[in-house]
C-alpha cells in the first residue's frame, strides 16, 4: 500500500512539474502587445515621424489608438495573430493601414494612407514608462 501511495505521489509531482514547464513555455512564446508603444514612421526614406500606439487585446482583436503630433486617431479595427499586427484607421479624410511583425519585443512593418498614396516603413518598441513590473 505504501508503494502505491509513493507511486501516486511521484506521478502527481511529475504531472505538476510538466504542467508548470509547458505552461511557462506557452506563456513566454508570444510577447504581449498590450500597452503603449513608442514608434517611428519613415516617410519615403526622408522624414521620420514619431508616434505612439496604445493597444488593448481580446483574443485576436486589437483596439486602441495612435497618437501623432496632429492628435489621436482611434483604431477602427485591428487584429494580432501569429505575431502579425494589422490595424485599420479611418477618418473622414483618409484611411490608414498599419501592418507589422513582432520579433524580439519590437515591431517592424509597413504603413499606407489613402487616398493620397503615402506609405513607408515603421518600427516600434514598448514604452519603458508603460511596462508593468516584471516585463
| 28 secondary structure, DSSP code | H
Share of the chain above pLDDT 90, in %: 65
pLDDT of 25: 34
Rounded to an integer, what distance in angstroms lies between the CA atom of residue 34 and that of residue 53?
10
Residue given cell 505521489 in the structure block: 9
Does residue 125 have a pLDDT over 90?
A: yes
98 neighbors 113 (Cβ within 8 angstroms) = no
Strands 71-74 and 77-81 come out as unpaired
Mean pLDDT of 75-100: 97
Q: Per residue in 49-73, pLDDT tens? A: 999 999 999 999 999 999 998 899 9
Rounded to the nearest integer, the mean pLDDT of the chain is 80
The structure's pTM equals: 0.72
DSSP-assigned beta bridge partners for residue 63 = 56
Amino acid at each position: 500500500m505504501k508503494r502505491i501511495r509513493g507511486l501516486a505521489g511521484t506521478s502527481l509531482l511529475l504531472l505538476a512539474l510538466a504542467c508548470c514547464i509547458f505552461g511557462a513555455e506557452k506563456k513566454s512564446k508570444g510577447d504581449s502587445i498590450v500597452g503603449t508603444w513608442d514608434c517611428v514612421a519613415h516617410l519615403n526614406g526622408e522624414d521620420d515621424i514619431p508616434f505612439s500606439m496604445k493597444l488593448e487585446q481580446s483574443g485576436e482583436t486589437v483596439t486602441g489608438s495612435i497618437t501623432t503630433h496632429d492628435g489621436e486617431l482611434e483604431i477602427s479595427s485591428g487584429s494580432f495573430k501569429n505575431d502579425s499586427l494589422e490595424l485599420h484607421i479611418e477618418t473622414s479624410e483618409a484611411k490608414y493601414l498599419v501592418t507589422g511583425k513582432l520579433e524580439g519585443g519590437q515591431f517592424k512593418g509597413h504603413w499606407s494612407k489613402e487616398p493620397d498614396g503615402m506609405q513607408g516603413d515603421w518600427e516600434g518598441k514598448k514604452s519603458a514608462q508603460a511596462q508593468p513590473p516584471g516585463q
